[in-house]
Structure formats: C-alpha cells, structure tokens
Amino acid sequence: MSNPETRNTPSTGQLASPYPARHARLAEELQRAGMDALVLNPGPTLTYLTGLHFHLMERPVVAIFTPGQPTVIVLPELETGKLEGLPYAVESFSYGEDLQSWDAAFHAAALAAHLDGKRVGVEPLRLRLIELRFLEAAAGQASFVSAEPEIAALRMRKDATEIAAMQQAVEIAQQALQATLPAVRVGMTERELASELSYQLLRAGAQPEFPFPPIVSAGPNAANPHAVPGERPLQPGDLLVIDWGAMYDDYCSDLTRTFAIGEVDAEWQRIAAVVREANEAGRAACRPGIPAGDVDKAARAVIEAAGYGDYFIHRTGHGLGMESHEAPYMRSGNPQILEPGMTFTVEPGIYIAGQNGVRIEDNVAITISGAQTLSNLPRELITLG
C-alpha cells in the first residue's frame, strides 16, 4: 500500500466549487440522524459529493465522509490521478495488484476516519458486499446503517445549476428524437429504431452513458411499460411508445411520447387523448406545499373517470436528477411535501395486454410559485410511417 496522501486545491478554485457546501449540508444531515460518518462506493451520490467518477469493478473504491475531517478515499493506484486539483482536502489510501494490500488500505483508511465503534451510514442500493466486508474487517466495532433518507434529503432539492443541466439534457433528448422520427417506417424493428435514436442522442451532445437504454416498443409490446426493444417489425395499426433520455453534465432527462403507425382504431385514439389529459392534469397539480401523492391523484382521476383505471399500472412519476429514478416519488398516498428545486417526471399511461399501450412523460421542476415543465415536444398522437 502506498503512503496516505493528503491533497488540497489552491484557494482560487474553492469559491466556484459546490462541494464544500455539499459537505457541510451532509454533516448537518448526519448529525440530525445520529450518524458519525457516511461511506459511499462509486455512483451518483459519490459524484454529487466529490465530482469524481469511478466505475464499479472488481477493484473496490470507497469514500468516507466524516464531519470536520478530510474526505478519506480508498482506491486502486491506477486511479489516484483523479484526485489532483480537488477543491477540498482528501486523504487517500491506494493499493496495488497484491490482494493483501487491499485489506491494508481499508484498515488504514478506517483508522484515519476513526470509524471503529462509530455509527456509519451507507447507501443500501449501492454498497456492495465486497466493500462492506472490507469495512467490517477494518472497523469491527462499527455499525453500518442505511442513510437512504439522509442522502435523498441531500440530493432532492436541485439548485439552479443542476436544473440548467437537466434542461440541457431535455433539449438534447428532444433534438435526438426529432432527428430520429423521419427514419421511422413500417417494417423496421424496434431494435433498429432504438439504435438510430441512440446514435442521434450522441450526435446531439449526450454523454456516452445514457440514463437508461432507450425503450422502443410497438403494438402488443407497448403494453409492457419497461419493454426491451426486440426484433418485432413495426406494423400498421401499432402504437409506438418511445421512452428515452440523455445525460448532460451528469444530470438526466427522461421523456416518453407515443406515436401511431398508420391508422389506429378509434378506441386507441380516445385512449391517447385520455392519457394526454391525465398528463396535463398531473402537471397542473404540481406546486410547492402539496404532497407528492396529490400529483398521482390528479393524473389517476382522469384515467379512472374515463374507465381505464385498471390499466394504469404504475405510479405517475419519479424523481429525476443524477439518476433516472430517485426521490421524490409521485405515487398514491406519498406524503412527501413538494418543495422548490424538486424535479421529477409526470408519466401516466394506459396498457392493455396483447393490444397496445400509451404513455406520455414530461420532466417537471418545482419553483417558488408553481412548477416548470422542462420538456415541450407535442403530446398529441402523431401518425408516422
């Protein structure tokens, strides 16, 4: 194991950096929850707090945040160059290819962070068993508990810079879809269309890593909200559901529009109109001070009144930010109060197995006085092919 290294950035970069303020907010959340530290492995929360990007791989990486102390990072020697020029103090413990050095690095890091005997928060949906076992061996008297609510509180309210990045991610996604639609034709497969859309996303300026692989589904496949594009060719009478997004500066967009391939029957035209109305009602309900569940209630009421309540089989929306699914969630009965800076989707849908499906999804940001819809592509049922 290499000797621990402490790095500090020159003061000229600190004023523009969001990370010291985020660390201070994290310290407040940890104190409120009675936690002494937070341990993260690679993922959006680590990037949110550090600006660093690491892949989840066979070599473990963890960052330990202890209020009032430098950020402690365990990482492979080959990744240490990423720590240069950070606008906050870091104490790093690196290891090589010798597996014994891994254990030594974790023990040294746990000692530097004073983890033993402490109550340590973790991100339960991210922390892997390999990192947890190393941490348990290095700090045998520590207790590791979920910090999911504290992490959500930290990331849920976006600032103007974050929302601007999300707005750009929306613009990229919309530009990519508009460039893709002229290629749609009867006989092309869902997978071919998804590939064209992926190409156009990159051309429009999306980061190479998408929030999720584009969902392109038609006809009976469109009745599956999370369908995987397959080899089924587009056919006249299909409804075509395209659910896609882009990442820009580490922030996501997540949109859905539904199109008709040729003529579709009158009932599905009516269903598409109902979903559009439900989308409008859900977005109209968005404002600060109301429970998140009220957004779901507003959209769901439209679909239920039209007689299709049994075919709306998921929540109305989910939070959006550095992840395509994060808090808050627009689900029935959710008491989470919406606040300025919260960003999420509104995406009602109707799905009839073996026939077709319709979904219309927009991205919304809560403002001081109401809400802003970040996406503006037409929501009407447009005929293609």
- Tens digits of per-residue pLDDT, 201-236? 999 999 999 999 999 999 999 999 999 999 999 999
Given CA atoms 299, 305, 307, 310 in this order, what sign does their dihedral have? positive
Nearest to 95 by CA among 68, 73, 66, 117: 73
> What pLDDT is stored for residue 4 in this prediction?
58
State how far the Cα of 68 lies from the Cα of 20, in Å rounded to an integer: 11
pLDDT band at 16 (very low <50, low <70, confident <90, very high): confident
State how far the Cα of 102 lies from the Cα of 222, in Å rounded to an integer: 47
pLDDT band at 385 (very low <50, low <70, confident <90, very high): confident
Query: What is the residue-wise DSSP string for 325-372?
Result: SEEEEE-TT--PBP-TTBEEEE--EEEETTTEEEE-BEEEEE-SSSEE
Q: Does 5 score more than 60 pLDDT?
A: no
Q: Does 294 score more than 70 pLDDT?
A: yes
- Distances in Å between the Cα of 10 and the Cα atoms of 24, 83, 105, 144, 308 are 19, 13, 27, 34, 60
Neighbours of 381 (CB within 10 A): 20
Under a CB-based contact definition with an 8 Å cutoff, are residues 148 and 125 in contact?
A: yes
Nearest to 361 by CA among 317, 304, 325, 330: 317
Nearest to 234 by CA among 184, 182, 192, 186: 186
Taking the chain, what is the end-to-end CA distance rounded to the nearest angstrom? 61
Amino acid letter, 98 = D
pLDDT band at 370 (very low <50, low <70, confident <90, very high): very high
Reply yes or no: is the peptide bond before residue 76 cis, omega within 30 of 0: no
Neighbours of 34 (CB within 10 A): 9
Instruction: Calculate what percentage of the chain has a pLDDT beyond 90.
Output: 95
Q: What domains appear along the chain, each with residue ranges and CATH number?
A: 5-155 (3.40.350.10), 160-384 (3.90.230.10)
Given CA atoms 369, 370, 373, 374 in this order, what sign does their dihedral have? positive
Q: Does 180 score more than 90 pLDDT?
A: yes
The secondary structure element, H or E, covering residue 260 is strand 255-261
> What pLDDT is stored for residue 150 in this prediction?
97
Under a CB-based contact definition with an 8 Å cutoff, are residues 268 and 248 in contact?
A: no
State how far the Cα of 382 lies from the Cα of 86, in Å rounded to an integer: 49
Q: What is the pLDDT of residues 346-367, one digit of tens each?
A: 999 999 999 999 999 999 999 9
Helices and strands, counts by H and E, the chain: 9, 20
> What pLDDT is stored for residue 12 in this prediction?
38
Residues in CB range of 55: below 8 A, 6 or more apart: 42
3-state DSSP assignment of residue 319: strand
Residue whose entry in the numeric block shows the structure tokens 């309540």: 309
| Helices within the chain (DSSP H only) | 19-33, 44-50, 99-112, 129-138, 148-155, 160-180, 190-204, 266-285, 292-305
> What pLDDT is stored for residue 3 in this prediction?
46
- Provide φ and ψ at 149, rounded to 5°: -65, -35
Q: Is 247 left (phi over 0), alpha (psi -120 to 50) or beta?
A: beta
Show the tokens assigned to 282: 């859900």
Q: Does 10 score more than 80 pLDDT?
A: no
State how far the Cα of 370 lies from the Cα of 366, in Å rounded to an integer: 6
State how far the Cα of 370 lies from the Cα of 384, in Å rounded to an integer: 35
Beta bridge partners of 145: 121
7 burial level (CB within 10 Å; 0-12, 13-18, 19+) = middle
Beta bridge partners of 215: 243
Cα atoms in the Cβ-side hemisphere of radius 13 Å centred on 385? 22
pTM of the model: 0.93
Query: What does the pLDDT average to over 239-251?
Result: 98
Please give the residue that has the higher pLDDT: either 179 or 15: 179
Query: What does the pLDDT average to over 257-272?
Result: 97
> What pLDDT is stored for residue 9 in this prediction?
43
CA triple 94-145-344, angle to 5 deg: 95
State how far the Cα of 12 lies from the Cα of 228, in Å rounded to an integer: 48
